[in-house]
A and B are shown apart, each in its own frame.
Chain A
Amino acid sequence: MTNNLRVKSSKFIDETYKISFKFNNKTYYGYKGDTLASALLANNIHLVGRSFKYHRPRGIMTAGSEEPNAIVQLHKNTSRTEPNVRATEIEIYEGLEASSQNCWPSVNFDVGGINNFLSPVLPAGFYYKTFMWPASFWEKYEYFIRKSAGLGKSPTEPDPDIYEHKYIHCDVLVIGAGISGIIAAKTSAKNGFKTLLVDEKPHLGGSTIYQNLEHFKINNQISSSWLDKEINEIKKIDNLEIKIRTSVAAFHGYNFLLARENLTDHLPLHQRNEKVRHRLLKIRAKKVISATGSLERPLVFDNNDRPGIMLSSAIEKYSNLFGVACGQKNVLFTNNDSAYETAISLFQKGINVRAIIDNREEVDSKLVKEIEKNNIKIYKGYTVVNTFGYKKINKISIMQLSKDGQKVVGSKISIDCDCLGMSGGWTPAVHLFTQSGGKLKFRDEDQVFIPDTYPSDQISIGSCNGEFTLDEILSRISKKLKDFLNIKKTEYENLEIQSNFNKTKRNIWLLPSDKIIGKTKPFVDYQNDATAKDIKLALREGFRSIEHVKRYTTTGMGTDQGKLGNMHALGIISETAGSKMGELGTTTFRPPYTPLTFGAIVGRNVGEYFDVYRKTPIHDWHVENKAKFENVGQWKRAWFYPKENEGMHEAVQRESKAARDSAGILDASTLGKIDIQGTDASEFLNRVYTNAWSKLAIGKCRYGLMLNEDGMVYDDGVTTRLDENHYIMTTTTGGAATVLGKLEDYLQTEWPELDVYLTSVTDHYATISVCGPNSKKIISKVIPNLDLSDEKFPHMSFKNTKIDKVKCRVMRISFTGEQSYEINVQANYGKSVWDKCMQAGKEFNITPYGTETMHLLRAEKGFIIVGQDTDATMTPIDLQMDWIVSKKKYDFIGKRSLYRSDTIREDRKQLIGLVTENPKEVLEEGAQIIADANKSPVEMLGHITSSYYSPNLEKSIALGVVKGGKNMMGQKLIIPMENKQIYVTVTDPVFLDKENKRLNA
């Protein structure tokens, strides 16, 4: 069929602007203003996709963001393809390509459709029940389950579009630009509040704007004309910002909201270049007015999911706003007056309405009378019991409802139709309100949840607050706004309103059928194929909580988050289990209200901007010299410097050898540096380090270990006494910020009486470490006037000096076990001092080394790295560093914990050295350590923390933690690997130069 079902022009459609687009590879035409859904319907296409589980043919159900079925894959291009786009939201543009999802080989012939006939054996919890056993088969099952899981295909190439974030601060945020939102925004802005009005649709005015009936009038004008004038006025107000195509995704506490502004999705691809696609708005509003409207409820009856079965309000919208007839033989099925509104709209446009099936027995509103006057058959007190037509509905059968609504009686009547509109009443869109922490209450008379208590400065107005009729909304809105905005009057105090909508409704959550429930398919969640039968099964199997039923049946867990069916699920649970709906509560509505793209979430933070990173002042030199980098915290540190053809291993071996044989140079600028001043600085260090500090002479350096209050090693580093009341503390690279934070915490909260000031100076200094037997010669060339003799400048001391005119601090401290000097110089001189050292060291083959070599060299000496050899369960005693724990000090952080019953256990994991039987065999870091492979179960004694091949010792060395390791010197242990066992011997963790002779060599 190629009939064009465009019936009458609409002011929202530009018929002079024809647009071609492709759906499942076929070209169609629509007009500017069309959504993909309206354009497809105009081309008489209802069948859009297949359902998730049973692969049943599904069509367009709604005309908005609540659409469960008409979701499509956009574009074929591997970088821009996008799954799960709602056809009801996407506006067509020249070149749009869309295709059906979840079907193979095509939406018309889908092999997966077999699941529909298998459905009796695919009940709720099918996967849980079936694939549990035998456990070893899971890997095989998983392959097939994964293949059939998920909707649509993800792009495989990087996203070419630009996204961004924007912060907005406003006095009043109005969500939703329906009649309530327009009135609220205008009132707020005219009273001087800086106001932001957002709506997810491309037009303002909500559903009232296409409401053309004489039955709904404001001040004697048809409601849409009245609203049109209001909209024209608000566009001129200065302090009112209006954003369309903007969907509020999340409403957090303290009136913090996230919204996605869609800027280019409606444009042809060639017009999108260089433009921002989505903008994530981070809105902080003093006051929030929710006018999010309501969603029409479907009705739950057998086979209520066929293409051509739609919401009654959607049919009205397609006809009034897009000028499209959804069918030529329309039947409406309702339990309230809404369908009559649709029916009148349709016949006014000359669209055929065959019949209205109304659950209610007695109905006599003006809307009903007008239908009767026009000779449209109304079946009062009837219900639809079944529908027919595989790929599109072609017939329904109806029966009379019993008085109590629990059964059907009498004989079946068949009615031919090609479109069935259903209206089960309205559900307030309270999703955002509850996200913000708002509590709902249940209103029994019309079975809706409405806002009850507000957690922040906000209100809900209009139909999202359960005010469904024009007169209800307009008679209350003025007072509500006056109270909320604290203003004296509004322009909307004495509106003359005509609204012929009768509010009576006959609510039956699960409509009865002539068949037993097991033989029917009354869908509750259309996207996830959950039926009323599944919910009843879950209840029979003992599930009671709505949250459990949801997960077991997957009701409400699709991309539409059950916007249509959740209330029916609740209703069915309540009726079946005999509990009150108000007490059952709802499932949790989680952000986002409608899906967000990953692009919008990350904004500009992609590629090199994904995370901030820090570079040392010498970074460029490392880059020029082909260093490989490693991330340490947020720092980029030179890892090793491979020469031609060298891999990491070769480079590290060469660098390590050079540092011990002659000279090495390391950029240590990333080490944390904290400047400590004040008359109580020494006392403060006494309290935060395990060792004693009061007697440290000016000009001397000392290594310190810092514990947590639980006694576990937290950080380490060398601190230098620059002056009587002045120290400079170094911390690990990764620990700098947390150490400063911890020290500040103690200073401010536990010891405010201490006169101490802490300043982070990490970025202020470049630190260059020159080590090796020739380091002294190199430094003497760089700083000729400094006396480097061991008497004047011994190990663990410091000098203030100058390189040319540049002041610097030189510390003689060593992390490698070699004689070494650390030059600290104002950061912007770092590069030139480095160059000077390289120049001076040339004759000694000075070799730049990276973090990997640094780790190897310190491991040869058995020096720990906090965070590598420790893991927040290691005390200094466990590390065999008893020497650093002062016995004399009365207290320091963590001291008391060192003799808790748990920390004095002899069988704690303790740091030891390990050498392999085969000196060439290098152990894997993280490998387990055991003693007896035949014991069952095998006892895990510990693990390897550091492991290297030492070029200086010409053997493999490792550090590890082993239960009771301290007392296992010389013992043989086993490292079990996948296909072999490696034999090792426990040794002292210091492998090289135990006497520290090299420090003064």
Chain B
Amino acid sequence: MFLIHCPYCGEREQSEFKAGGEAHIVRPKQPTELSDDQWAEYLFMRKNIKGVQFERWVHAHGCRKWFNIVRDTSNDEIKAIYKMGEKPPTKYK
């Protein structure tokens, strides 16, 4: 079970959090102008990386705030945590 440093509350057990899938997928501003393929790309296509992955998490049983985690899925090491709207750390890209 991970220990996750919520940027608002501090370090808490994983059981307080929920994972919310891949981060930095922006909802298209004008969905009506997209083709089926483009919309499907947004709707269904997600990466499943063995290695460094950018993820959304929410402190569901805490402050209910969403934030981002950079996690190495091969060993579960959390490399960075940053708030929604903040720029992802470039060194893991």
Are B64 and A744 interface neighbours, CB within 8 A?
Answer: yes
Instruction: Chain A residues near B47: list those with CB within 8 A.
Output: none
Instruction: Chain B residues near A455: list those with CB within 8 A.
Output: 75-77
Q: Which of B32, B66, B77, B85 contacts A891 (CB 8 A)?
A: B32
CB contact under 8 A between A748 and B84, given known A253-B2, A254-B3, A256-B1:
yes
Q: Which of B1, B58, B77 contacts A745 (CB 8 A)?
A: B58
How far is A57 from B39 in the complex, measured between Cα atoms in Å? Answer: 67
Are B66 and A745 interface neighbours, CB within 8 A?
Answer: yes
CB contact under 8 A between A252 and B32, given known A437-B76, A741-B60, A749-B66:
no
Q: Which of B31, B58, B75 contacts A896 (CB 8 A)?
A: B31
Are A252 and B1 interface neighbours, CB within 8 A?
Answer: yes
Instruction: Chain B residues near A807: list those with CB within 8 A.
Output: none
Instruction: Chain A residues near B76: list those with CB within 8 A.
Output: 253-254, 437, 455
Interface mask (B44-86 → A, CB under 8 Å = 1, otherwise 0): 0000000000001010100011100000000111000000110
A-B contact count (CB 8 A): 57
Are B75 and A890 interface neighbours, CB within 8 A?
Answer: no
Within 8 A of A (CB), among B8-31: 13, 18, 20, 26-28, 30-31
Are B32 and A890 interface neighbours, CB within 8 A?
Answer: yes
How far is A17 from B26 in the complex, measured between Cα atoms in Å? Answer: 74
CB contact under 8 A between A897 and B39, given known A741-B58, A741-B60, A745-B66:
yes
How far is A579 from B67 in the complex, measured between Cα atoms in Å? Answer: 47
Instruction: Chain A residues near B60: list those with CB within 8 A.
Output: 741
How far is A749 from B75 in the complex, measured between Cα atoms in Å? Answer: 27
Instruction: Chain B residues near A741: list those with CB within 8 A.
Output: 18, 58, 60, 64
Instruction: Chain B residues near A890: list those with CB within 8 A.
Output: 32
Are B34 and A896 interface neighbours, CB within 8 A?
Answer: yes
Shortest beta-carbon distance from A603 to chain B in Å: 15
How far is A256 from B43 in the complex, measured between Cα atoms in Å? Answer: 36
How far is A608 from B65 in the complex, measured between Cα atoms in Å? Answer: 33
Interface size class of B (residues with CB under 8 A): 20 to 34
How far is A897 from B60 in the complex, measured between Cα atoms in Å? Answer: 28
Shortest beta-carbon distance from A752 to chain B in Å: 6
Are A254 and B34 interface neighbours, CB within 8 A?
Answer: no
Are A748 and B75 interface neighbours, CB within 8 A?
Answer: no
Shortest beta-carbon distance from A592 to chain B in Å: 16
Q: Which of A253, A744, A745, A895 contacts B31 (CB 8 A)?
A: A895
How far is A437 from B1 in the complex, measured between Cα atoms in Å? Answer: 12
CB nearest neighbor in A for B31: A896
Shortest beta-carbon distance from B82 to chain A in Å: 13
Shortest beta-carbon distance from A283 to chain B in Å: 11
CB contact under 8 A between A253 and B1, given known A437-B75, A455-B75, A900-B40:
yes
Are A748 and B39 interface neighbours, CB within 8 A?
Answer: no
A791 CB within 8 Å of chain B = no
Shortest beta-carbon distance from B28 to chain A in Å: 8
A750 CB within 8 Å of chain B = yes
Are B39 and A752 interface neighbours, CB within 8 A?
Answer: no
How far is A254 from B78 in the complex, measured between Cα atoms in Å? Answer: 10
How far is A900 from B30 in the complex, measured between Cα atoms in Å? Answer: 15
How far is A744 from B28 in the complex, measured between Cα atoms in Å? Answer: 18
CB nearest neighbor in B for A256: B1
- Which residue of A253, A284, A900 has the most chain B CB atoms within 10 A of its CB atom? A253
Shortest beta-carbon distance from B33 to chain A in Å: 9
Shortest beta-carbon distance from B17 to chain A in Å: 12
How far is A741 from B40 in the complex, measured between Cα atoms in Å? Answer: 23
8 extra interface residue pairs, beta carbon distance < 8 Å, beyond A749-B84, A752-B85: A253-B1, A709-B43, A710-B43, A741-B18, A744-B58, A891-B30, A891-B31, A896-B39
List, sorted by A's number, 8 A–B pairs whose CB atoms are closer than 8 Å.
Answer: A253-B1, A284-B13, A745-B20, A745-B58, A748-B84, A750-B26, A750-B27, A895-B32
Q: Which residues of A contact B (CB under 8 A)?
A: 252-254, 256, 284, 437, 455, 709-710, 741, 744-745, 748-750, 752, 890-891, 895-897, 900-901
Q: Which residues of B contact A (CB under 8 A)?
A: 1-3, 13, 18, 20, 26-28, 30-32, 34, 36, 39-40, 43, 56, 58, 60, 64-66, 75-77, 84-85
Q: What are the nearest 3 A-B pairs in CB distance? A: A896-B31, A256-B1, A748-B66
